[in-house]
Structure 1
Amino acid sequence: MALLDEARVRQMSNGGTRGPVVVTRGDVLTPSARSWLREHRVEVVFPQGEPEKTDGGRQEKGGAARYRTLFGAELHEKPEHMTHLKGNLLVFKDHPRIAFRGYIDLLEAEIVLCQQACVREGYRVLAVELEEVLGFVRRFIRFDVLDEPVGEVRLCGYSPAELREYSHYPEKHFGQPHFMLSYTDSPAVAAVNKVRAVVRQTELAAYQAFRDENGAVAREDIILGLNRLSSLFWIFMIKLKAGKYERT
């Protein structure tokens, strides 16, 4: 049996950067240790075959528990204020990774609304391109939950290098300089711009979800993928403004 205080769990997790803290039967976490683990989102795990404990170090009664938490408790019922992070692991609903997934949901919804606006204005080619983008965005939950790599971002015929190049130098490639959105722009341009803004918000949510206390991120590929997606939506806006999409 060991009493694990804040200093000890910091050491065990290398300041929150090395991974989960492994505790054994009889170990007790002090309140300050639990507070630090919660604040830095460090998982508490048990060696295979050992029972998990509640906050007081006691086993839950009533048979095998169905759920576990980041802080060592095991539960038979899922509280309404908690949700699944992965598998049977529960977290509070304001956990940064759950917030990030919420932004992915919002992004999907805004893309569909944008497609509808494009179809109303006759930009059916752009609506089809947005369908490809929507399929890519829907994979981000899988990237997170299953720890799958994003891989190289190739969308709508653009390579990663082209997404960066064309979005930075639109006048060179499309004859249209950078511009500020105006009420005189078409509803399609405004709709695409709103999606672009939501992409930027989603990128910030991803940084909040995957950074450590020193600012380093565990999933740079997710953040990079969203950054390139933001570039693509700026290209869409530039092409609309420059009249590169035919209306049907």
Structure 2
Amino acid sequence: MPSWITETSLRAEHGLAHGSEVHLPEGVRLTPSASQLLAERKIRVKYIGDDGRVFLPDETEAGANQKASVHPLTSANARPGNRCSVCHSQVEKKTELLTLLDSERLVPKTHPRIALRGKLDTLISQTVWVQTQFAASFEKYPVLRHALADLRSFMGNLLRSEVTGDVQSEISMGNLDDETIHRISHHPLKYLGHDHIVPELRHGANVSLLNVLRAMAREAELDACRAFQTDNFELTRPDIVQGLNRLSSAIYVLMLMTLVVESTGSLPELGGIS
């Protein structure tokens, strides 16, 4: 008999940012309320087998899986092409200098979009590490664990959207949407009861770790501007650039939330981050 994933377990164990995705063990099934939660937040589901292969739900969304596994990032199951992005001819042997820009085109690894992917990859790896360092605090303050999990999900979605060309969804952190995060980041004293900070030693280890992520998100935003800025100073992917801009703001808000929680033991009501 398959095990069931409930709404409660989803909220406790996964980042549930709008437009992101969750990875569940192969063979489990979702309860109606769990399915509704994922649908409301437009969260994609992927199933992971014991051998690490990734599957998509079947048409009934019942937890059964496709026979063919898919790429964990792009969800594709077709072999990519090897077409040169300059001359448009097929490349018989891909050298170490080249890598895939999309499912068909090869570009040098120095391409600005490949540089951006590297920066996002580093940001995600550092975020997962910060999550492990925060483990003790998260047990005491689950609000922080859930907020950072949502931001980690958003980072993965940014990377997927850049690779696939899909439009990036707006950021969310718990029940805080893009506009609310932006507003709190500009007026923290009004909403959190603490004014802006420039991180320093007295703010403690957790704030310091989050600040590293905030700075890396800012660096990724600059790389995105370099990758997508045209000669007319327009952006071909404004959704990616805005997403990274809001990501650094959200991490800053989480820094302030952490400082307030560690100082006072509680947070003001912010729309039900849980």
* Same fold? TM cut 0.5: yes
Aligned equivalents of 1:192 and 1:140: distance in 2? 19
Is it true that 1:142 corresponds to 2:157 in the alignment?
A: no
| 2:99 counterpart SS class | strand
1:124 positional shift? 4.1
The one-letter code of the counterpart of 2:151 is V
How many corresponding residue pairs?
181
Q: Which moved more, 1:164-173 or 1:205-214?
A: 205-214
| 2:203 counterpart SS class | coil
4+ long deviations beyond 6 Å: none
Aligned equivalents of 1:125 and 1:153: distance in 2? 17
Aligned equivalents of 2:145 and 2:128: distance in 1? 9
1:25 corresponds in structure 2 to none
Is it true that 1:69 corresponds to 2:87 in the alignment?
A: no
1:118 corresponds in structure 2 to 134
1:181 corresponds in structure 2 to 199
1:71 positional shift? 1.2
1:161 corresponds in structure 2 to 179
The one-letter code of the counterpart of 2:231 is E
| 1:74 counterpart SS class | coil
1:157 positional shift? 1.4
The one-letter code of the counterpart of 1:149 is V
1:202 positional shift? 0.7
Q: Which runs of no fewer than 5 residues in structure 1 stay unpaired?
A: 1-65
| 2:101 counterpart SS class | strand
Aligned equivalents of 1:245 and 1:81: distance in 2? 52
CA contact (8 A) 1:69 1:91 kept: yes
1:152 positional shift? 2.9
Aligned equivalents of 1:173 and 1:164: distance in 2? 12
CA contact (8 A) 2:150 2:172 kept: no
The one-letter code of the counterpart of 1:233 is I
Q: Which runs of no fewer than 5 residues in structure 2 stay unpaired?
A: 1-80, 267-274
Aligned equivalents of 1:212 and 1:94: distance in 2? 18
The one-letter code of the counterpart of 2:85 is L
1:123 positional shift? 4.2
Determine which structure has more spread, i.e. the larger CA radius of gyration. Answer: 1
CA contact (8 A) 1:167 1:232 kept: yes
Q: Could you state the TM-score of these two structures normalised by the residue count of structure 1?
A: 0.69
